[in-house]
Structure formats: C-alpha cells, structure tokens
A and B are shown apart, each in its own frame.
Chain A
Amino acid sequence: MSTIHVDIVSAEREIFAGEAEMLFAPARLGEVGILPGHAPLLTQLKPGEVRVQLKGGEQQAFYISGGMLEVQPKIVTVLSDTAVRAHDLDEAAVLKAKQEAEEALANNTGKLDFTKAQAELAELAAQLQTIQRLRRRGG
C-alpha cells in the first residue's frame, strides 16, 4: 500500500513526522480521513484527536486543540494550535494587554521625546564604554 508523508507541528515544537497509510483529523465540517493521492485541501481543525495509521496498521493518536490541515497529494501537514483558541479568549488577551499598557503609561503624552530618548541611550552607551575602558586598563 502506498504511503503519504505526515507532518504534525505546533508553534513550539515538532510533534510527529513520518510516513503513514492514512490520517484521520477532526475537520471543522466533520472528521476526515486522508489517503495518499487526496486532492489539495485546506481546512480548519476542531479540538480533538488526530490519528495516524502507520505502515502495518498500527495507529498513533495525538490530541490537538484546533489548528489547520493542509493536504497535498503526497504530503499532509497538521498545523496544531498550542492551546484552545476561541474568539472571546483572544479578545480577553487583547483587553489585558491594552489595560496593562494603559496603566503603565497613565501619564504619557503619546508623543515620543526624541531628545530624551537619545540622551538616555547615550548615557547607557557611555556607561558601557567606561566599563570597557576600565577593563582594558586593568587587563
């Protein structure tokens, strides 16, 4: 039986790579089974189990919390999310990031003070240079 190359990756690591006879994945519109030679397909995945049927019929299962599935005739890629993603959760993250920034910058005018920025950076550079000079003198 012919095989198809399967890659399962998440943003933080590679989960599985190898040849398989068949792959099952929880697509948005229902579970799909992918055999070698499948037409090109791009779809979203729901949280669930991705099963890889290896050569000889052995199955390996991976839990994913959603993601994308890309199918090419000879290669299948599962781009797994690292966590459960939902619209409201993402919105909550946005709110949190915004609030924290606003709190930190309560008395900020919103205009960047270039002279101040450069003075500060020059000071830091001078400090570093002094350290280097001291080291050279000492060494």
Chain B
Amino acid sequence: MAVGKEIRVKIASVQNTQKITRAMEMVATSKMRKAQERMRAARPYADRMRNVISHVAGANSEYRHPFLVARPVKRVGIIVVSTDRGLCGGLNSNLFRMLIQHLKRWQAENIEFEVCTIGRKALQFFQRVGGKVSGQASKIGDAPHLEQLLGPVKIMIDAYLEGRVDQIFIASNDFVNSMTQKPELEQLVPLKPAADAGLAQYWDYLYEPDATEVLNQLLVRYVESLVYQRVVENIACEQAARMVAMKSASDNAGKLIKELQLIYNKARQAAITQELAEIVGGAAAV
C-alpha cells in the first residue's frame, strides 16, 4: 500500500538518530565513570604536594619564592579549560559566560588579560570573539597526560615570572555530581597561603642542591598538577553533560516517533476506510 511513505521514511530516520544518541549516551556514561576514577587517582599527588608546600611555607623564612608573594595586579593570565567536542549541552557556553563576566569586571578596573586555551572549543570561541591567546593545547582525548598540558602552563608560568602577568587563573567546570556541573574561576598563582600554616615551625629542610632550585621545581610541579586535575575534572563534566544531553535527545526522539506513528496509523486507517467506501459504492452502483 502506497500510503504514508514519507511518514515511514521519516520514522525510520528518527529511529536511526535515536540509535546514535542512545549509543552516545551509553558511551558517555562509561567514559564518565572512568574520568571520575582518574579524577580520584590524581588527588593523592596534589594532596601530598599541598602538605609539602605548607611545610615549606612554614619552615623556610629567608627565601620567598615569587609564587608565594602577591603583587599589584595590572594584567592577569587565564587558562581556559574547555572540551574538544560539542554535543554536551550548555557546558562550554556556561563557562564562557562566567568568564566574560569576570573579563568585563577586569576591563572596568583597567586590568588587561591574556589567555591560554585547553580544548578546541575555547580556542574557537576566542577565534570568533577576539582576545589575546598566547598558547593552546587541544586534542587532549579522554585520558589526558600531563605532557600534553605543559605548553600552555609553562607559557603562563613564564609570563608570571617575567612579570608580564601578575596573577594566573584557571577557568573550568567543577564536577558537583553527574547532573550538575558548575563553571568556576580559581586563582592558581600567587598561591593562597595554606590554611594550616598557623602552627609555628622552627625548623627548615635540608635542600639539595639549594632552596631556590628545589622550591622552584616543587611549585611549578604543583601548579601543573592543579591544572591537570582541573582538566581531568572537566573531562568528567563533559561526559556527564553529554550523557544528560544525549539522554534527553533519545527521549525526544522516542516522543517524535510515537507522534509520527500515530499520524501514520491515522492516515492508513483513513485510506482503508476510503477504499472500502469506494468498493461499497461501486457494488451499489452495479
């Protein structure tokens, strides 16, 4: 029967789309779990390092590393962590909206800024709207390695040490739970004094080869590990957001299919009724 061919084709195409979104949903679910594990695995390093740094801050008095000293702010550096791919709801645009608000506030205070982007979406955003981008890293993948992030981080750290920027921030999403992700801007450098620095310590480390070099490496590693953690967290956010977006896409496709099926059935019924009426009419005429 030739009735409703267009509708049937349409239903089939929506079904195919639904298959894809459902597959993407399942992939995102399993990737999110892995990303969360990675998030947890990265925590001990930063925790240990924070301990060491609070010891250092308490112990060492003669040498102040530039990372520990705040100075007047004329220019800020921001590391923007975004996703490489889209189809993850409002994750990136929420982050950019929050960022723009801060940039506006800085502009009002005559503070300049430059950014380093991680992830393709952030780079594309600044490509479209302008702004000084001094470095980028993209195609991070689902299991990022620290080495992939070194470029942008070192650019910012160098800029700080040269005095080109006076503060470094990182903008990324905070993984609250799988339904909620919160965009956040966090200050990386200068380091905020540790909370437990209050206890007086009258000892110092033995430094090998010397305090300056050791502290320098330690603090740079610390910043790197913070950035790494943020990137891993952002990937967990990306997968969670994608999971939710794809779930609602699948649900919507299901609804659409139901509606189309109803229309199709009605059209088919109407055609049958009409045919019957024609046959009955024909028989009566004979």
Query: When chains A and B are docked, how far (Å) is the Cα of A100 from the Cα of B129?
Result: 18
Q: Does A97 contact B (CB under 8 A)?
A: yes
Query: When chains A and B are docked, how far (Å) is the Cα of A68 from the Cα of B214?
Result: 8
* Residues of chain B contacted by A13 (CB below 8 angstroms): 41-42, 44
* Residues of chain A contacted by B158 (CB below 8 angstroms): 94
Q: Does B123 contact A (CB under 8 A)?
A: yes
* Residues of chain B contacted by A42 (CB below 8 angstroms): 52, 56, 205-208, 214, 218
Tell me the smallest distance from the CB of A92 to a CB of chain B, in Å: 9
- The number of residues on chain A lying at the interface, defined by a beta carbon within 8 Å of a beta carbon of chain B, is 56
Q: Is the CB of A116 within 8 A of B38?
A: no
**Chain B binding surface SS class:** helix
Query: When chains A and B are docked, how far (Å) is the Cα of A134 from the Cα of B256?
Result: 12
Q: Does B89 contact A (CB under 8 A)?
A: yes
Q: If the complex has contacts A44-B208, A96-B151, A113-B130, are A12 and B38 also in contact, measured as CB distance less than 8 A?
A: yes
Q: Is the CB of A101 within 8 A of B206?
A: no
Partner of B145, one of A43, A83, A100, A108: A83
Q: Is the CB of A44 within 8 A of B221?
A: no
Query: When chains A and B are docked, how far (Å) is the Cα of A138 from the Cα of B260?
Result: 13
* Residues of chain A contacted by B59 (CB below 8 angstroms): 40
B197-222 interface with A by 8 A CB criterion: 203-209, 213-214, 217-218, 221
Q: If the complex has contacts A7-B48, A110-B131, are A97 and B103 also in contact, measured as CB distance less than 8 A?
A: no
Q: If the complex has contacts A98-B134, A124-B90, are A11 and B129 also in contact, measured as CB distance less than 8 A?
A: no
Q: Does A130 contact B (CB under 8 A)?
A: no
* Residues of chain A contacted by B217 (CB below 8 angstroms): 44, 68
Q: Does B85 contact A (CB under 8 A)?
A: no
13 contacts between A and B (CB under 8 A): A7-B44, A9-B44, A12-B38, A42-B205, A42-B218, A43-B206, A43-B209, A81-B221, A104-B127, A105-B133, A111-B131, A112-B129, A128-B90
Known contacts A82-B145, A134-B252; 8 additional CB pairs below 8 A are A43-B208, A97-B137, A108-B130, A109-B130, A112-B129, A116-B129, A116-B130, A117-B100
A-B pairs with lowest CB-CB distance, top 7 = A97-B151, A112-B131, A97-B135, A43-B208, A117-B129, A93-B151, A101-B136
Interface residues of B (CB under 8 A from A): 38, 41-42, 44-46, 48-49, 51-52, 55-56, 59, 89-90, 93, 96-97, 100, 103-104, 107, 116-117, 123, 125-138, 145-147, 150-152, 154-155, 158, 203-209, 213-214, 217-218, 221, 224-225, 228, 248, 251-252, 255
